Structures are given as structure tokens and as C-alpha cells.
């Protein structure tokens, strides 16, 4: 690896997974592209340069370029990461890129995270359940600062799917809520505006597809680009589930 100001640019080799599931002629394979490294080059810049100068057929996703939209997750040398936030200066001369596993492949590095997240949200009904009629004239309900902060932490998830791709359980159990799903469930469990009680949530989350499916490898915690407190989320869900179980006895 070289510093950003290095006079002679490194020649980088990108080995990229290529496959178009829509094309019956397409066969999964790796394709190599070479590029001179530029100062402060991100994978976003490198892939765009490859597409503009070498191969317009290369598929990958980016929108915000600033770790906000969550669309650029990919496997970078075997580890899930955001392409827009990964600098080539932090990578070796050979960079291997694969699409995130778990999600449906659209083509090359592009995957459909949206369908996975929508199904997870629908299955857990991860939205506010309330009988309160909407009153546009009402003043905002007050919320304890610490609780508001805890809910905000959960809301910082950008649904990039990196945690899901890193999760051994999500890779083998398609019904597992996954780290991002459990994080979203916890966010609504904490919310005092949601009318569901501990017993209702127990039915959603206290099972092998929920928090008790987690086998504690915690790769999700290591790869989350937003550094969400996923360990605390699982501890919260386990505590609430056990409390609900004892209350049922
Ligand atoms: Fe991405 Fe982190 Fe949200 Fe997982 S929890 S989807 S890694 S932002
Ligand atoms: Fe939006 Fe990377 S392009 S998160």
C-alpha cells in the first residue's frame, strides 16, 4: 500500500464478479480490470472510471456517494463494505469484488436489497401500531431524551445490507430477521407510541427466526458502516423476551 501523495501511482487490479441472471448465455465468472490509483480514490470512483473507460456493461449501484443511501454495499476482498466509503489506499494491489450474498442478484455487483427489507418489515409489522386518531392540531408528544436518543440510534440504519451479508445465520435461513431486521424491531419496541405490549412482541421476536436465532458471531457489529450498537440491540431484545416469558408463567 502507498500513501495518497505517492508520486508514482499504484497499478491496481480489480477482479470483479460478472453475471447477468437475465441473460441465458451469461455464465458467472471473474473479470480483471487494471487502473492507475488516484489520490483519495474510492471504490465508487474506481468503478466509475472502469465503466467509463473500459466496460460500459459493468453493473453496480451508487446514489449518494456519502454513506447515506445504502445502495453501494458489496463484498470487498471477502468483507461487506460500502463502495463509496472504501478508499483504494486502504486496500492491497489486488481488489476482489463480489455482490452481497443473501440478496437477489440483479447483475454483477448490483443486488436487490429493497425486496428483502420490505419483506422483513412486513413480516414484523415494523411500523407504529396505534388506535390514536391523527390530530394535526395537537402539540408534539414529549419523549424522554435518553429514549429519543436510543430510538434515533436505531433509525440511523441506512439499510445497506452489509450486516445481513456478513451474518452466518441470514446466509442459511432466509426467514431470519437478520441484524438490520432485529434492529428495526427493537426501534419500534422502544417507541412508547406503539401500542403493542411485551407479549405481542414476544410472538414476533422470541424464536429461531428472531433474536434466539442469532448464534453470536457478531460479524454484523464489525462491518456496520454506521457503527450501530447492534450488540446492545440483541441484549435489549433478549432481556425483553425473557421478561415476557417469565410474565406468562
Ligand atoms: Fe447497514 Fe448497519 Fe443498517 Fe446493517 S445495521 S443495514 S450494516 S447500516
Ligand atoms: Fe449511498 Fe454508498 S452511494 S451509501
- Of the ligands numbered here, which is closest to the C-alpha atom of 231? 1
N-term to C-term CA, the chain:
60
Domain that holds residue 222: 125-248
C-alpha cell at 174: 432466509
pTM above 0.75, yes or no: yes
Whether 140 and 201 map to the same domain: the answer is: yes
The best mutation among 46, 71, 97 to test binding of ligand 2, ranked by most ligand atoms within 8 Å of the C-beta, falls on 71
pLDDT of the chain along its 249 residues, tens only?
555 565 789 999 999 999 999 999 999 999 999 999 999 999 999 999 999 999 999 999 999 999 999 999 999 999 999 999 999 999 999 999 999 999 999 999 999 999 999 999 999 999 999 999 989 999 988 999 999 999 999 999 999 999 999 999 999 999 999 999 999 999 999 999 999 999 999 999 999 999 999 999 999 999 999 999 999 999 999 999 999 988 877
The confidence score (pLDDT) of residue 78 equals 98
Whether residue 118 lies inside any domain: the answer is no
Q: Which atom of ligand 1 lies at the shortest distance from residue 159's CA?
A: 6
Other CB atoms within a 10 A radius of the CB of residue 139 amount to 6
158 C-alpha to ligand 2 centroid (Å): 9
How far apart, in whole angstroms, are the C-alpha atoms of residue 177 and residue 154? 15
The confidence score (pLDDT) of residue 248 equals 77
Residues with C-beta less than 6 Å from any ligand 1 atom? 157-163, 179-180, 183, 224, 226, 228
The confidence score (pLDDT) of residue 249 equals 74
The confidence score (pLDDT) of residue 100 equals 98
The confidence score (pLDDT) of residue 7 equals 72
Whether 16 and 52 map to the same domain: the answer is: yes
Whether residue 116 lies inside any domain: the answer is no
| Domain count across the chain | 2
Specify the DSSP element, H or E, that contains 82.
strand 79-82
Cβ–ligand 2 contact at 71 (below 6 Å): yes
The β-bridge relationship of strands 11-18 and 94-98 is parallel
Cβ–ligand 2 contact at 64 (below 6 Å): yes
The confidence score (pLDDT) of residue 247 equals 86
Whether 164 and 60 map to the same domain: the answer is: no
Whether 132 and 160 map to the same domain: the answer is: yes
Whether 56 and 101 map to the same domain: the answer is: yes
Whether residue 1 lies inside any domain: the answer is no
Whether 165 and 219 map to the same domain: the answer is: yes
179 C-alpha to ligand 1 centroid (Å): 8
Own/partner pairs, 210-216, CB within 8 angstroms, 24+ separation: 210/177, 210/182, 210/185, 210/237, 210/241, 211/182, 211/237, 211/238, 211/241, 212/238, 212/241, 213/169, 213/173, 213/176, 213/177, 214/169, 214/182, 215/168, 215/169
Cβ–ligand 2 contact at 82 (below 6 Å): yes
Amino acid at each position: 500500500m502507498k500513501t495518497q501523495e505517492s508520486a508514482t501511482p499504484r497499478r491496481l487490479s480489480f477482479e470483479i464478479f460478472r453475471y447477468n441472471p437475465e441473460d441465458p448465455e451469461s455464465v458467472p465468472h471473474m473479470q480483471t480490470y487494471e487502473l492507475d490509483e488516484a489520490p483519495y480514490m474510492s471504490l465508487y470512483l474506481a468503478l466509475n472510471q472502469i465503466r467509463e473507460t473500459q466496460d460500459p456493461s459493468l453493473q453496480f449501484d451508487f446514489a449518494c456517494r456519502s454513506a447515506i443511501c445504502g445502495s453501494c454495499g458489496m463484498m470487498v476482498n471477502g468483507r461487506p463494505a460500502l463502495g463509496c466509503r472504501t478508499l483504494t489506499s486502504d486496500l492491497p494491489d489486488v481488489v476482489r469484488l463480489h455482490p452481497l450474498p443473501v440478496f437477489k442478484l440483479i447483475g454483477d455487483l448490483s443486488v436487490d436489497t429493497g425486496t428483502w427489507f420490505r419483506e422483513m418489515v412486513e413480516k414484523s409489522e415494523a411500523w407504529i401500531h396505534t388506535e390514536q386518531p391523527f390530530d394535526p392540531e395537537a402539540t408534539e408528544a414529549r419523549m424522554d431524551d435518553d429514549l429519543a436518543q436510543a430510538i434515533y440510534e436505531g433509525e440511523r440504519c441506512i439499510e445497506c445490507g452489509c450486516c445481513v451479508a456478513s451474518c452466518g445465520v441470514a446466509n442459511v435461513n432466509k426467514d431470519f430477521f437478520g441484524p438490520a431486521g432485529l434492529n428495526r424491531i427493537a426501534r419500534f419496541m422502544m417507541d412508547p407510541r406503539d401500542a403493542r405490549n411485551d407479549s405481542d412482541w414476544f410472538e414476533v421476536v422470541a424464536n429461531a427466526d428472531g433474536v434466539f436465532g442469532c448464534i453470536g458471531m457478531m460479524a454484523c457489529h464489525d462491518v456496520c458502516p454506521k457503527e450501530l450498537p447492534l450488540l446492545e440491540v440483541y441484549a435489549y431484545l433478549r432481556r425483553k423476551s425473557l421478561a415476557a416469558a417469565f410474565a406468562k408463567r
